[in-house]
Every structure is written in C-alpha cells, then in structure tokens.
Amino acid sequence: MRIAIMGAGSIGGYFGGMLARGGNQVTMIARGPHLMAIKNRGLRIVSDQGEFVAFCDATDDPAQVGVVDLILLTVKTYHNPQAIPAMLPMIGEDTVVLCLQNGIDSYQAAAEVVGAEKVLPGAAYIEAGLPEPGVVTQSGPVVRIEFGEPDGGDSERGQRILKTLEHAGIPARFNLDIHQALWSKFLFIATMAGVTTLSRETMAQLMPHPEWRQVIVGCMREIAAVGQGAGIQLAPDIVDLTIAYVEGSLEQLRASMHSDILAGRPLELEALNGAVIRAGLKVNVPTPINDVIYAMLKPFAAGQSS
C-alpha cells in the first residue's frame, strides 16, 4: 500500500516506521532537522521491544509525493489550516485519510476540505517521543490504533486498512462504534492534558495530592456526562477504569500539551478542553472544571512563553 504520514513526529513516525518495515511504500512528511535526519540516516524507532531503522521516502512538500492509498493525519490540530489543504495533491479517487489526531471532532476539519467520504476518524493509543531528529521512542505496553466509519458499520476499505496495520505489527481494531472509542480516549487525554498543562506538573506529581485527585476525577466525570448527554454509549464505570489505568501508568504518562506549554509552543486547547465546552453547550451539560482550565490556558494557546 502507498502510504503518506502527514506529520511524521513521534506518533506518526512510529506508525509510519512500522508500516515501512511491514513492506508498504511509505513517505514521511516532515520538516527541518528531523526531515534531514530521515533522509540521511533513516528513521530509528526505539521501543521496549528493541529498535530498528526504517528507510523510506521523506519530504516537506506533499505535492512531490503523488496520489497515495492511505494518509495518516497526525499533525497537531493547530496545524490543520496549513496541513490539510497541503494533502490535496496526494488524494485520488480511492484515497482514505485516517485521522489520528487528539479530540472527538478533529476529523471533521479534514472532511470539510477533502470530502467526508474520504475521511475515517480514529484514535492512537501510544506513549511516544521525539528525543532528537530522526529518532522516535515508544514506551509502555499500550500501542494500538482504533478507527471506524463515521456513521458506524463495516466497510471493505476499513477491513483493508485493518489488515495492512496488523500485517505491519500494529495492533488495531476496526471499531463499529468509533465515537464511543473516541470519547473514551478523549475523557482521559483531555483531562490529563488540561490538568498537567494548567499545573505545569505531571500526573505522577499531581495524583498523590487529594485536592488534585479530586479535580482530575471531577474533570473525567464532567466529560463523561457531556458524552452521555450527546448519546455516546460510554461504559458505566469509564471513570473508575480510567483512574485505575492512570494509577498503574503514572511514570509513563506525558501529555504533549504539557510539554508544549513548558516549551512555549502552541497548545491543542481547542481540540481538547475547548471541545468539551462546545459539546457541553450543545447538550446543555455544564462544564465548570473545563471552563476554568480553558480560561486559564487561553492566553497561552498561540504559543506565548509560560
């Protein structure tokens, strides 16, 4: 399969590297020193299971790639206004865009530009990093992709993508209710990103404090209430299950938005806590914790130094 990785950072780089090793024709869309490292030395993937170097095409110009079968959209959501139109030269009649960005509605940005019929929403579950140009790290036991048709149900293209991912050694699930999966991840990532970015501390630092644990649990319950109000069939014990996962994985948990605010980079605030507020307004469910997180982080959303 011809595959383009639109945003070959930590997450896109890991899955792109695995797909290249699995025999697919992969092109990494990257920039700067990271792009040059991939071109010169390949992309080195370092995980708990070992390491390998993926040799594949790389460019900063999607127009040079040509039409592909599959695009993994993995750029930060605040890059969408530039990244999504740039994908158009790679999209043909049968191209599928698999959106693996944070958020419950991020895939709609791509659907508005390239056509809803070409976009599949998905979620990536992985702890990955980019410690230096040309090197992607992955840690912890959780690595998988879940994706599905926006309106639910089975499809030939979904099964074809599933087989491609699995053949490359990527655990994956073609979910017949992808919105339930998106909200289940969203409850976790929006809470973790929001509280750690607001506090400038990690989950490992926050959870031992009763006052912060109360905020964390409250934020998750708030998001669960919004999801249920929107008709999402979340597990009744979703908050308890998520807290148990957090407590068992504290040292591995890092939110990219937390790293971004410390580095003075833009924040995915609109795709995360902003999305909670917007969804809550639609279904008349209050979101006071996310309101506070959003209000206090809004001044830093464009990348001002913290």
CATH number of the domain encompassing residue 209: 1.10.1040.10
Judgement on whether residues 21 and 46 belong to the same structural domain of the protein: yes
119 and 192 in a single domain? The answer is no
Do 136 and 201 lie in one domain? The reply is: no
Task: Give me the pLDDT at residue 295, please.
Answer: 98
Run of H or E including 247: helix 238-248
Ramachandran class of 255: left when φ > 0, alpha when ψ lies in -120 to 50, beta otherwise: beta
CATH number at residue 30: 3.40.50.720
Q: For the chain, how many structural domains are there in total?
A: 2
241 and 155 share a domain?
no
- Tell which residue, 126, 64, 88, 73, has the closest CA to residue 254: 126
Residue range 52-56: mean pLDDT, rounded = 96
Main-chain phi, psi angles of 148, to 5 degrees: -170, 175
Helix (H) or strand (E) holding 203: helix 203-206
Its domain, for residue 116, covers 2-176
Asked if residue 305 belongs to a domain, the reply is no
Within this chain, do residues 95 and 167 fall inside the same structural domain, yes or no?
A: yes
Between residues 48 and 148, which one has the greater pLDDT?
A: 148
User: What is the predicted pLDDT for the residue at 143?
Assistant: 95
**Structure confidence at residue 306 (pLDDT):** 41
Task: Mention every residue, 6+ apart, whose C-beta is less than 8 A from residue 263.
Answer: none
* Residue 22: pLDDT over 50: yes
- CA-to-CA distance for 162 and 147, rounded, in angstroms? 9
pLDDT the model gives residue 141: 85
pLDDT digits (tens, 9 = 90+) for 264-298: 999 999 999 999 999 999 999 999 999 999 999 99
* Alpha helices, H only, 22-140: 32-41, 80-86, 107-114
